[in-house]
Structure 1
């Protein structure tokens, strides 16, 4: 299994809307991709921003490619609706092999 980890940042006033976007749009769409095995959204307030770490779990790199595309499976996938809620975000995700479930 592979954990795909990506980070974004927003202002506190947009944090709830971004979580709602992930809950209502992103995670339901991910669940329809073969090989997606779930995920977590972590948050922490850091002064004037709220940081998000989104960790999704995948059975293989091929499954990640079904989500992120064949050209660059580590490229961030941030649709315009999500971009509008974020102050900044990482252009790339990081992939980790899961050693223990």
Structure 2
């Protein structure tokens, strides 16, 4: 058991030293700001947030596997819809919620 602990400790120390050495060698990169990063026509207009008034289950895809649930809050749609299903951004990535009679609002 002592040998295992000693080997584990040496591997951790080696990894930490290797990470510190590689971080020290990294140089800062200055972006070229002479031209805009986003060009005209590349902007994405997303619908206004949706207010959830109740706990709402969200899914991997419309009628798909339930991933989790959201407490009442505002969520941000991606702009993708399928019938009453609306794709939103979550902490798990994009997901779908069912919002009957949803009409995107871009005002």
> How high is the TM-score relative to the length of structure 1?
0.28
**Structure in which a larger fraction of residues adopt helix:** 1
Task: Please state which structure has a larger fraction of its residues in strand.
Answer: 1
Q: TM-score, normalised by structure 2?
A: 0.27
Which protein is bigger by CA-based radius of gyration?
2
- Which structure is richer in relative contact order (CA contacts within 8 A, separation 6 or more)? 1
